[in-house]
Amino acid sequence: MTGKLLSLAIWLPILAGLVVLATGGDKRANVARWLSLIGALAGFLVTIPLYTGFDMLNGGMQFVELKPWIESYNINYHLGVDGISMWFVLLNSFTTLMVVLAGWQVIEQRVGQYMAAFLIMSGLINGAFIAQDAILFYCFFEAMLIPMYLIIGIWGGPNRVYASIKFFLYTLLGSLLTLVAFIYLYYQADGSFAIADFARLPLGMTAQTLILVAFFFAFAVKVPMWPVHTWLPDAHVEAPTGGSMVLAAITLKLGAYGFLRFALPIVPDACRQYAWVFVLLSLIAVVYIGLVALVQTDMKKLVAYSSISHMGFVTLGFFMFAGGTQMNSFAVEGALIQMISHGFVSAAMFFCIGVMYDRVHSRKIADYGGVANKMPIFASFLMLFAMANSGLPGTSGFVGEFSVILGAVQVNFWYAVAGATTLIFGAAYTLWMYKRVIFGDVANEHVAELTDVNKREFLVLAVLAVTVLGMGLYPKLFTDVMHVSVNDLIWHVSQSKLH
């Protein structure tokens, strides 16, 4: 069965989603909920052996599956995970389980379709992280847009149609140039779409530069990097709670993963030459977007801008070339840890905002105040997640940012200073929001009527709290898996392809 684990990680959630769709309308909503929970739990459980059976001394692809798909073009059903991608498959499957629990009582209309969309999207996202064939990756990468488009467009807020179309067009159009790059690489690789074959091509500098531009438009939009980030706040504000959780925790990571899996191995010389551009854009995201978050009045929009700032740290770590030639292992591993941590913390923050919205039906900071008087358990959990979002030592939010700053110091002291401002701005906008929403006297009759978290909400918050604290207190559990794969990538990028 271990030889089919990756296929199960893709197709089991998709199959479960189709079964949930078959339950019909809202008359069988409870059946849809329970089937979704079973499907999400099964989808998560089949990914656990990817960790328990992972060979940490092997930096290459493991659990590989290879079968012909479109033989006339040498397109294969080629799957595999390494120490970089494995954690994101686990994170995605875990987040899907949390999303099903988060929407259990909240979603009352089209319950089956809602749950099915998340299950199907979970399988498609796993496919993008697992695919080792460029066309297979592209199919999964684009197909996952459809469920998210529907989730925002059907179950979102008042401006959901505008937000969903903007999200779809930004991410779709950005990816089209990547398809052109894949086709060019296919002919250069003598008719192979294997990503590993692309990484071995001796491409000239002009070709590398053009391919990097194509990759940038696809993956920078998905991250999103400044200045192609404007779709994200709109999408977050209009998306239902589950949509925001998946959007922040998982889909943004696909953009950063694309840089690691495609740009850096395939066009290393161009990445090295233009690393300063990525560093500059990343630092703008960290500093400027942090200041933008500081003036937000909508809690969801504040956390959305916070996500852009934190993901700026990720791209900063990836393109931190020591001495202009060597990728920085501190920075790269720190960026990967930041990606995983942000998945936990952002999902928790958006869930907490959803808990309050379900009771008050407002996301405006001004409509709250004194919540701790009525929801002390909830306030305690939100305090933990707010501290993690601020980068408090002992939480997952600190580990990745600290490692990236360490790596930045080795390259340029002022990069580290600029990057470290996120610890100041992050604390400013997160804790200021927390103070205005949670502390003080009960602000109005809506807050006075609040009730503390129920058992379902407590379960989701407790599980997310364990992940945030566990990663913060024992990051070795995560870094040991990725260490060899990261070193292999760094070695590969350091070997110039140009003669």
Per residue in 421-477, pLDDT (tens digit) is 877 888 888 888 899 888 877 778 887 888 888 888 899 999 999 999 998 898 888
pLDDT band at 89 (very low <50, low <70, confident <90, very high): very high
Min mean pLDDT across 23-32, 139-148, 342-351 is at: 23-32
Tokens at 480, concatenated: 């040991």
Q: Is the pLDDT of residue 65 over 50?
A: yes
Q: Which of helix, strand or coil describes residue 239?
A: coil
**Over the stretch 187-244, which tens digit does the pLDDT of each residue have?**
888 888 888 888 888 888 888 899 999 998 888 888 888 887 777 787 878 888 888 8
pLDDT band at 11 (very low <50, low <70, confident <90, very high): very high
Please tell me the predicted confidence (pLDDT) of residue 3: 62
Rounded-to-integer distance, Cα 158 and Cα 237, Å: 10
- 421 burial via Cβ count (<10 Å: 0-12, 13-18, 19+): middle
Q: What is the DSSP letter of 3?
A: G
Do the beta carbons of residue 334 and residue 317 sit within 8 Å? yes
Q: Is the pLDDT of residue 322 over 60?
A: no
pLDDT band at 276 (very low <50, low <70, confident <90, very high): confident
- 469 burial via Cβ count (<10 Å: 0-12, 13-18, 19+): middle
Please tell me the predicted confidence (pLDDT) of residue 285: 85
Higher pLDDT, 409 or 90: 90
Do the beta carbons of residue 181 and residue 217 sit within 8 Å? no
Rounded-to-integer distance, Cα 458 and Cα 227, Å: 38
Please tell me the predicted confidence (pLDDT) of residue 499: 43
Please tell me the predicted confidence (pLDDT) of residue 496: 66
Higher pLDDT, 234 or 281: 281
Q: What is the DSSP letter of 225?
A: P
Q: Which of helix, strand or coil describes residue 451?
A: coil
What mean pLDDT value characterizes the chain? 85
pTM of the model: 0.89
Rounded-to-integer distance, Cα 141 and Cα 124, Å: 7
**Over the stretch 166-184, which tens digit does the pLDDT of each residue have?**
888 888 877 888 888 899 9
Mean pLDDT of 374-389: 90
Q: Is the pLDDT of residue 2 over 70?
A: no
pLDDT band at 246 (very low <50, low <70, confident <90, very high): confident
Q: Which of helix, strand or coil describes residue 481?
A: helix
Q: Is the pLDDT of residue 1 over 50?
A: no
Mean pLDDT of 365-371: 85
67: which strand partners? Answer: 77
Nearest to 377 by CA among 450, 476, 315: 450
What phi and psi, each to the nearest 5 degrees, are found at residue 162? -60, -45
